[in-house]
Amino acid sequence: MNLEILPTRTGGAAENMAMDFLLLQRYPRAVPRFRHYGWRGPAFTFGYSQKIALVRESLAGVEPPFELVRRATGGGIVDHRDDWTFALVIPRGHPLEELRATQSYREVHEALAEALRAQGVAARTKPCVDEPEADKDATPGPAGVCFQRAEIYDVVNERSGEKIAGAAQKRNKHGLLFQGSIWRPSAETDGTIDWDKFEEDFAAQLAKALGTETQPTPWPEFNEDEVSGLVEQYSAPEWTEHR
């Protein structure tokens, strides 16, 4: 069971969210899969349970235009205008998928921090002495505007204390979807990062955590009607504003 590394793609906000969901729901093999992706223009995403009125209030000072899309995962608002975004799916039954959310969150972010340290970044996961009890499927930390405050096991800069990376999760019968974002300005305070090398190192660290090897893999052939239907769903005001 290898960690399949998919090609980097750039899409609009609705397309990116649809593709991540399809990687959870319709992937042809029950193996871990990972992808890094870009954004076609300025975008923000926010967690599934967030109230749209509070989201709009939080973004009132942001100059338009930008895309705004509700994620299928939890968490708060994520600014994608200058981030490095990734998705990881772990199939149901894998030992890492069966961990409580705080622990799977920690495993992935320890791998991320290790790859950043290889680039000279003083990265570490934020520790917590007394970890609160939480439901297995909950996303760590309260919702809010990401990169303003670090929660337990977010990746932070050890010297400045700035938050570097955060993520959100969704678990269902197919497995665990982990959507993560690295804020480039915070990561690069210690110098320029070779993001291609970082991706290679990060994938290797994830494979190590999963007890497997990396394997570059072509993009799967999803049903075109399902793809277009999901993109339309994530684009629709009914989805973005339903809470």
State CA 4 to chain mean position distance. 17
Give the C-alpha separation, 45 to 80, whole Å: 8
With a CB cutoff of 8 Å and minimum separation 6, the contacts of 213 are 2, 3, 207
Give the type of residue at 208.
K
Asked if 222 and 26 touch (Cβ cutoff 8 Å), the reply is yes
Q: Return the structure tokens found at 43.
A: 């975008």
Q: What amino acid occupies position 179?
A: Q
Catalytic residue among 78, 116, 146, 177: 146
Q: Would residue 146 show up in a list of annotated catalytic residues for this protein?
A: yes
**Complete DSSP assignment for 176-216:** EEEEEEEEHHHHGGGS---HHHHHHHHHHHHHHHHTS-EEE
What is the helix (H) or strand (E) element at residue 125, kind and residue range? strand 123-125
Long-range contacts of 127-133 (CB under 8 A, 24+ apart): 127/152, 128/152, 128/153, 131/102
- Phi–psi pair at 121, nearest 5 degrees: -85, 135
End-to-end CA distance of the chain: 39
Q: Which residues are catalytic?
A: 146
